Structure formats: C-alpha cells, structure tokens
Amino acid sequence: MTYTELTLLGVLIVVTLDLYVFRTKILKRKVFWASYSIVIFFQLVTNGILTGFGIVEYNGDAIIGSSTAQESPPAFIGDGRLVFAPIEDLLFGFCLVTLTLIIWVWLGRIGVQREPRSGPPRKSLERLLGTN
C-alpha cells in the first residue's frame, strides 16, 4: 500500500472509531477543531524543516506528489505538498492526534484513574520495597 492509501484508510478508521465504536464524538466538538488548528500549525513548521532541508525524503511512487530524492528541493506549495511535506503527513498527524484523544476520553469514561495522583503508583512501589 502507498502512504496515500494508508493515511486515507487511517482517517476512515479513526472517524469510525470516534463516531461509532467508542462514541466519544470528538470530531463534532468545536474545541477539538480549534485546538487541532494549533497542532496543524506546529506540524507544518516541523514537517517544513525536516522535508525542506532534506532530512526526510519521500518516494514519489508512494505519495501524491513527486519524490524528494531529486536534484532540486521539493515544492513549498504544490505538487501534492504543503510547506514542503506531502499532504499525507497532515492526514497521518490527524490520525495520531485524534486516536490518542479518543482513547484518552474513552478511558476517562470507563473510570481509569478518576482521581489523578502525582508520583509513582503507591501499590506498585510498596510491592517493590516489600512494605505494606
């Protein structure tokens, strides 16, 4: 599968998990989209640096645009790219961030660590030290 196919499949899976499996409905919240715009900004900055300076290169057969292994640097905008990086990177980042939030909200709903505590887990520490 190409990077494009994998990211589109990932978006489909994440949307399905959010709306129908875990039913967290994060994608329907305005606060998610407002917060996600900040994530996109920094993702574009990071991707732009990594791809623009040639630290990361992409195979043109696996993405929408052309390869970065050519003599000339990748396009800043155009040729399937935005700030040097392939459009697929935005979709991949969307999947990573959204899936993390879906799992976080779902774990909170089922009662995992309702009362946050700082420091190491008490029971695990007591078991390691042999004290009760």
Q: What is the residue extent of each domain of the chain?
A: 3-129
* Residue whose tokens read 């779902």: 106
- Structure-token pair, residue 124: 């695990």
Q: Return the higher-pLDDT residue of 52 and 99.
A: 99
pLDDT at 42 over 60: yes
The stretch 101-110 carries a mean pLDDT of 90
pLDDT at 41: 95
Q: Confidence band (pLDDT; 50, 70, 90) for 121? A: low
Question: Cα torsion for 10, 12, 17, 20, to the nearest 10°?
Answer: -170
Report the percentage of the chain scoring pLDDT > 70.
78
- What's the N-to-C CA distance of the chain in angstroms? 54
Give the H/E segment covering residue 123. Answer: helix 122-129
Longest dimension (CA), the chain: 66
- Structure-token pair, residue 46: 């990071």
Q: What is the pLDDT of residues 61-105, one digit of tens each?
A: 778 876 655 556 677 777 778 888 888 999 999 999 999 999 999
Name the pTM for this structure: 0.75
pLDDT at 36 over 70: yes
CB-based contact 74:65 (threshold 8 Å): yes
CB-based contact 95:7 (threshold 8 Å): yes
- Tell me phi and psi for residue 125, to 5 degrees: -65, -40
